[in-house]
Amino acid sequence: MKKSFTRILALLLVCFVFSACSDDQTDDTTQVTAVADSEFQLPTYDFDNHAFYILSVGRNENSNDFLYKEENPSVLDAATERRNKSVEALYNIKIVSEQQNTTANYQSPEAFSALVREATAGDTNYDLCVIPGYDVCRLACQGYLTDLHTLPYFDGEQEWYDQKANEAFTFANKLYFTTGDSGVSMMNQTFCIAFNKKLAEEYQLEDMYELVNSNQWTLEKMYDISKKVASDTNGDGETDVYGTMYWVDAAYGIVNGAGQRSVVLNPDTLNMELALNSETTHNVLEDFAEMVLNPEVSIKYQHNSKAKEYIEVFSGNHALFFMTTIGKLSEFRDMETDYGILPYVMYKSEQQEYCNTVSPFNAVYTCVPLVMENRERTSAVMEAIGYYSKEYIIPAYYDKTLNGQYVRDSESAKMLDIIFDTRAYDLGYMFQPAQLPENMLFMIRDGVFDWSSRYSALEIPAQNFLNFYSESYRKTVNITE
């Protein structure tokens, strides 16, 4: 899913042509129709006004990429309606999105139990599902999802699928869930770092964008700059302008930003293995803890009594760096001071690319239940959703992002190219073996960081957890030792 904000900005000046489907469709013969361009073709069917049910489970309706407001619609609402109606017209279906708000962090009954029940009973209530990562990874390895590659029209190489997600979630050449252009909510859950331009100018700091472009945007550089800005401006003996504002989940992004993962798949044994014991992971976590647990330099905006405190701190020019997600930036649409957007820092400048985590607590992924009524219908509609999402949703999302809500300069637009092209998906953050990855957050939250001892205490139960699910995965794909 490689995009360019600068390229899309130019495309936004062009009106899209709404294409209708052919009247020559039949339900027993697969035809092919060109859609909007001559290089891509979709199979042509008439699915007889079928109600195409999509189960969408998430923290709230913001994670549902198929709902839209008909009254006073936003640009994105209008695009979602256009995408949905285009797919409906093409295949003579009606998209019905069933929204369920999850009540748990792990194995929410609204997703996990629902799909287990569907498979066990042989029911086909849902054609497609978009559900949390904590659920989808366990459902996959326990055999409750369909391998997308077995669907007749699924083409994971199409540009509307995120190839990094496909790579991260492939097990023995099987792919049970993924994401792409239809998942705007996933774009909003991507980690980023904002910086206050007024403070950068006042303290005569280096050009942040040039640091990124020259591969000098590292954790060490971020800490050095933060220390230059952190100050007591009113003379009361306490810091009131901070270098960095963070939330504990940032530890996930720091590990991935260093090019590391919490869990990796051994391609020879097809066993998921812990990867948090690397020297790089130890070092980057220790350096990150040193920065954020320094009260003279950093301030935490999570787990306090003032839930929106971070808005006043950043918009009030009391913090230079703001470690957050893309979606959170919409809360600064009225901020008078300009800000810029940066990718997550590297650990060392020798790294090949930046790496930007997708929040595991809010991420949702597209999957197909094990039992389905019509494989041709499900996969054809999936591809049509992907195609029209590329045509309508992505330009609308970029328009909403570029019109001042998130991005205020062309340099930040280029930074978003980098961020979205280098998104990181980490199986360990989704499986949470013995909650070992989450313990990185606990230690930052509690202000006492001793990663070596915490890792040693949880290593064996965490690897046993992964061994269990790896064996389940191998059985699901019919591989036995």
- Secondary element (H or E) of residue 319: strand 319-325
With H, G, I as helix, E, B as strand and everything else as coil, classify residue 299: strand
pLDDT at 7 over 70: no
- Percentage of residues in the chain with pLDDT exceeding 90? 73
Residue type at position 354: Y
The predicted pLDDT at position 121 comes to 94
Assign domain 191-264+277-357+407-422 to a CATH class: alpha beta
pLDDT at 80 over 60: yes
CATH number of 8-188+363-405: 3.40.190.10
pLDDT, average across residues 409-428: 91
pLDDT at 12 over 60: no
**Could you state, in order of their start, the residue ranges of all structural domains in the chain?**
8-188+363-405, 191-264+277-357+407-422
pLDDT at 6 over 80: no
| Mean pLDDT over the full length of the chain | 88
pLDDT (tens digit, 9 = 90+) per residue, 465-477? 999 999 999 999 8
Of 346, 324, 322, 342, residue with least CA distance to 221: 346
**Can you give the pTM of this predicted structure?**
0.89
Terminal Cα-to-Cα distance of the chain (whole angstroms)? 35
**pLDDT range class, residue 28, cuts 50, 70, 90:** very low
The predicted pLDDT at position 460 comes to 98
The predicted pLDDT at position 444 comes to 93
Classify burial at 290, counting beta carbons within 10 Å of its beta carbon; exposed 0-12, middle 13-18, buried 19 or more.
Answer: middle
pLDDT, average across residues 61-67: 88
pLDDT (tens digit, 9 = 90+) per residue, 230-247? 999 988 988 999 999 999
pLDDT, average across residues 83-93: 97
DSSP state for residue 306 in the 8-state scheme: -
Task: Note the helical H segments in 170-325.
Answer: 184-188, 197-202, 208-213, 219-229, 250-257, 279-292, 309-315
| Alpha-carbon gap, residue 150 to 137, rounded angstroms | 18
The predicted pLDDT at position 335 comes to 87
- Chain-centroid distance of CA 117 in Å reads 27
Q: Could you check whether 8-188+363-405 and 191-264+277-357+407-422 share the same CATH topology?
A: yes
The predicted pLDDT at position 35 comes to 54
Residue type at position 192: C
Of 381, 288, 365, 461, residue with least CA distance to 131: 365
Strand order in the sheet with 339-342: 298-300, 242-246, 319-325, 191-196, 339-342
- Secondary element (H or E) of residue 81: helix 75-91
The predicted pLDDT at position 25 comes to 37
| Alpha-carbon gap, residue 430 to 427, rounded angstroms | 5
pLDDT (tens digit, 9 = 90+) per residue, 287-321? 999 999 999 999 998 755 444 578 889 999 999 99
**pLDDT range class, residue 131, cuts 50, 70, 90:** very high
**pLDDT range class, residue 1, cuts 50, 70, 90:** low
pLDDT (tens digit, 9 = 90+) per residue, 338-390? 999 999 999 999 999 999 999 988 899 999 999 999 999 999 999 999 999 99
The predicted pLDDT at position 307 comes to 45
Which residues lie across from 20 on neighbouring strands?
none
pLDDT at 332 over 90: no
Contact 119, 126 (CB under 8 A): no
pLDDT (tens digit, 9 = 90+) per residue, 196-213? 999 999 999 999 999 999
The two three-digit tokens of residue 334, written as one number? 């009225």
